[in-house]
């Protein structure tokens, strides 16, 4: 197996050493709540930048280059970043179920990389496992059928111990799958369907993107939506479909609208929910996705609605309401059929997310298979934490169904229905999921999607056999 001997600029020793000398991670959980309001937030009407919408591409015959580049975060000044095809976020890939993705990844970075298709059901060779990293100047050919249901997935680097840096420097993009079930719902489309990639960042004294990993998880000082600082989006008086991705290294967002209206949650990581849910505040952890409808029809022209993060107090995005009224309706009733994974037929496995670097007491070793899972058997996986939460737990190779949460927040949330591939474990929580690997056999990963925890070893290899 290929092994990364020298992990680029952040050696493991330096990373852990820096962690050991500080106690700041406890306060770095981002749970400042409403009290932390107005940090770095700009009032409505302040100078804002138009929201960047990445260009769209098909993943069939697609060339994806990860390289150093410069981007405009808003305001016209170019800032160095690490980008896919020159963009941050990278191009939005859109495909229909049944199509074939054929992507050539080229590594124009100065360190090894590999791209993972988070949420896509692919075999091991196409999964962007860190053992498949390619050095500078090399390429990797992906070739897989799209067997997912309609959903917002995403792509990002997955080299061992370098993922946090590569994502923080700008490498990530959306990957939307469509299918006939979704078509039938007649959801908002075209300009009324908008991807929102949420993350945070920090700047050095020259105003350039800066990544300083910290063991408790990187928390930036400024929010970015689709790579835009202080963004606004001009909207019609219409229903919008927002495809929202938790693209931060570690920050959890608590989304709400400034006028108090609820979001209509219609989907999450694995696609459509069974029925829509109206929710005033939605939490979004790294790796998670949300499919939200927002109805601006009752707003007067000229009004402004803010998308806020109640956890940091930030304003993430301003919607500026225009004069055009567009008819539409929010789907009611059944959106999709989600067949419950009925009663586990296999074992229950418990995974303890310990400290910041271990699962069940072990740090990740690329050459060790931590456990094997039988193909097509339903199992109960129990995620629990012994400290240093939150840990957004992510599983490759299958979607799962979240069935219970005890301790901590003590229950499940409407956006955790249906199919998920990432679930948030807050302090003192135990979360049970049911999972069945019925797409492919092979070697996959489970890890904390707080990228600094992942990079430090809070990750495991398992093989579906
Ligand atoms: Cu989004 Cu294994 O990662
Ligand atoms: Cu993944
Ligand atoms: Cu973690």
Residue 90 Cβ inside 6 Å of ligand 1? The answer reads no
Residue 28 reports pLDDT greater than 60? no
**Is residue 140 helix, strand or coil?**
strand
Residue 34 reports pLDDT greater than 60? no
Residue 118 Cβ inside 6 Å of ligand 1? The answer reads yes
Please, where in the chain does CATH 2.60.40.420 lie? Answer: 6-181, 190-325, 348-464
Window from 29-38, 44-53, 97-106 with minimum mean pLDDT: 29-38
pLDDT for res 345: 82
As assigned by CATH, the class of the 348-464 domain is: mainly beta
Tokens of 375: 């193909």
As assigned by CATH, the class of the 190-325 domain is: mainly beta
Residue 442 reports pLDDT greater than 70? yes
Give the number of whichever ligand sits closest to the CA of residue 445: 1
pLDDT for res 46: 65
pLDDT for res 43: 53
Q: Give the tens place of pLDDT for each residue, 183-225.
A: 999 999 999 999 999 999 999 999 999 999 999 999 999 999 9
* CA torsion angle 152 51 265 95 (round to 10): -20
304-324 burial code (b ≥16 CB/10 A, e <16): bbbbbbbbbbbbbbbbbbbee
Cβ within 8 Å of residue 368, ≥6 positions away: 362, 461
Ligand 1 atom closest to the Cα of residue 422 is 1
Cβ within 8 Å of residue 338, ≥6 positions away: 273, 274, 401, 417, 418, 419
Q: Give the tens place of pLDDT for each residue, 125-173.
A: 999 999 999 999 999 999 999 999 999 999 999 999 999 999 999 999 9
Q: Say what the pTM is.
A: 0.91
Q: What is the CATH number of domain 6-181?
A: 2.60.40.420
Q: Give the tens place of pLDDT for each residue, 214-273.
A: 999 999 999 999 999 999 999 999 999 999 999 999 999 999 999 999 999 999 999 999
Ligand 1 atom closest to the Cα of residue 454 is 2
Give the number of whichever ligand sits closest to the CA of residue 164: 1
Residue 394 Cβ inside 6 Å of ligand 1? The answer reads yes
Laid out side by side, the sheet with 348-354 consists of 358-359, 348-354, 379-385, 430-435, 400-406
pLDDT for res 82: 98
Report CA(450)–ligand 3 centroid distance (Å): 5
């Amino acid at each position: 197996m290929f092994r990364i001997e020298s992990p680029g600029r952040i050696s493991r020793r330096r990373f852990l050493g820096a962690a050991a000398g500080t106690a700041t991670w406890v306060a770095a959980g981002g749970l400042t709540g409403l009290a932390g309001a107005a940090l770095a937030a700009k009032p409505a009407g302040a100078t804002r930048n138009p929201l960047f919408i990445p260009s769209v591409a098909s993943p069939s015959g697609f060339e994806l280059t990860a390289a150093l580049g410069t981007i405009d975060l808003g305001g016209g000044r170019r800032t160095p970043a690490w980008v896919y095809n020159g963009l941050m976020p990278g191009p939005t890939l859109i495909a229909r179920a049944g199509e074939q993705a054929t992507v050539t990844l080229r590594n124009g970075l100065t360190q090894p990389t590999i791209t993972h298709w988070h949420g896509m059901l692919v075999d091991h060779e196409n999964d962007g496992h860190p053992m498949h990293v390619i050095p500078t100047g090399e390429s990797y050919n992906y070739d897989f059928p799209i067997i997912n249901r309609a959903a917002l997935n995403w792509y990002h680097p997955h080299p061992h111990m370098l993922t946090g840096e590569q994502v923080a420097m700008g490498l990530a993009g959306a990957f939307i799958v469509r299918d006939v079930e979704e078509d039938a719902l007649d959801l908002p489309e075209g300009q009324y369907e908008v991807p929102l990639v949420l993350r945070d960042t920090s700047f050095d004294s020259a105003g350039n993107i800066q990544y300083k990993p910290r063991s408790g998880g990187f928390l930036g000082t400024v929010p970015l939506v689709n790579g835009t600082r202080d963004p606004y989006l001009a909207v019609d008086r219409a229903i919008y479909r927002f495809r929202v991705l938790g693209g931060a290294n570690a920050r959890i967002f608590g989304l709400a609208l400034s006028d108090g209206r609820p979001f209509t949650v219609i989907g999450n990581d694995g696609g459509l929910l069974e029925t829509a849910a109206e929710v005033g505040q939605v939490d979004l952890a790294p790796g998670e996705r949300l499919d939200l409808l927002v109805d601006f029809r009752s707003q007067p022209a000229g009004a402004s609605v803010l998308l806020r993060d109640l956890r940091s107090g930030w304003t993430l995005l301003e919607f500026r309401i225009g004069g055009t009224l567009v008819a539409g309706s929010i789907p009611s009733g059944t959106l999709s059929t989600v067949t419950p994974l009925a009663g586990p037929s296999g074992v229950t496995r418990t995974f303890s997310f310990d400290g910041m670097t271990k699962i069940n007491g072990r740090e990740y070793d690329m050459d060790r298979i931590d456990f094997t899972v039988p193909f097509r058997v339903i199992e109960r996986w129990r995620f629990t934490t012994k400290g240093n939460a939150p840990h957004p737990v992510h599983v490759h190779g299958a979607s799962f169904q979240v069935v219970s949460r005890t301790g901590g927040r003590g229950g499940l949330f409407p956006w955790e229905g249906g199919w998920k591939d990432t679930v948030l474990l807050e302090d003192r929580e135990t979360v049970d999921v049911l999972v069945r690997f019925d797409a492919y056999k092979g070697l996959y990963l489970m890890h904390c999607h707080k990228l600094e925890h992942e990079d430090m070893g809070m990750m495991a290899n398992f093989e579906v056999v």
